[in-house]
Amino acid sequence: MNKEQKKNYIKDMTAQFENSEAVLVTHYQGLNMKQLDELRKQMREHGIQFKITKNRITKLALQNSKCKDLSNLFSGPTAVALSKDAISSAKILTKFSKENKNLKILGGIMGKDVLDVAGVAKVATLPTLDEARAKIVGILRSPAQKITSILLAPASKIAILALEKSKK
């Protein structure tokens, strides 16, 4: 890379760090191209960018961003996952690292919180935004379904139900 390319790289990486809600740092040593391509494909499907980085230049980009606390993680063959959804990226990386022992999760940042390996593993167990929404909808629909079934029941069942409630 020439000087101009390095400046552009630093500028782009700083912007990406600033605009990402979650940044997870990994070591990828030992993964072949097929495995890296598979991981990138899984990440892209969820709108996550997975980038192999140049450590020295990336550390310069980190200095001017909210992710400066991560600079100590950048040594060796490093790649970062940049996303708006920390839970999805943590789930994908955790699952992939269990299947491929050569991918090592080092840590990351979610919002303003710095995460270590255990923190990333905990985030990976959380439900995604869509899963949480589905659970909330299920909880909200349940009472409505019970009321509907009571209202649609024959009058005798309603009378029996009212009698039982009055005994309590």
**122-157 pLDDT, tens per residue?**
888 888 777 878 888 877 777 766 666 666 666 666
Instruction: Give the sign of the dihedral formed by CA 64, CA 106, CA 38, CA 45.
Output: negative
Q: Which pLDDT score is estimated for 42?
A: 92
pLDDT digits (tens, 9 = 90+) for 88-97: 889 999 999 9
Q: Which helix (H) or strand (E) holds 81?
A: strand 78-83
Q: Where are the domains of the chain?
A: 3-126, 130-167
- Residue 100 CA, chain-centre distance (Å), reads 19
Homologous superfamily of the 3-126 domain (CATH): Ribosomal protein L10, N-terminal RNA-binding domain (3.30.70.1730)
Ranges of H-type helices in the chain: 3-19, 33-45, 55-63, 86-99, 117-125, 129-152, 155-167
Strand order in the sheet with 78-83: 49-52, 78-83, 22-27, 104-110, 113-115
pTM, full prediction: 0.73
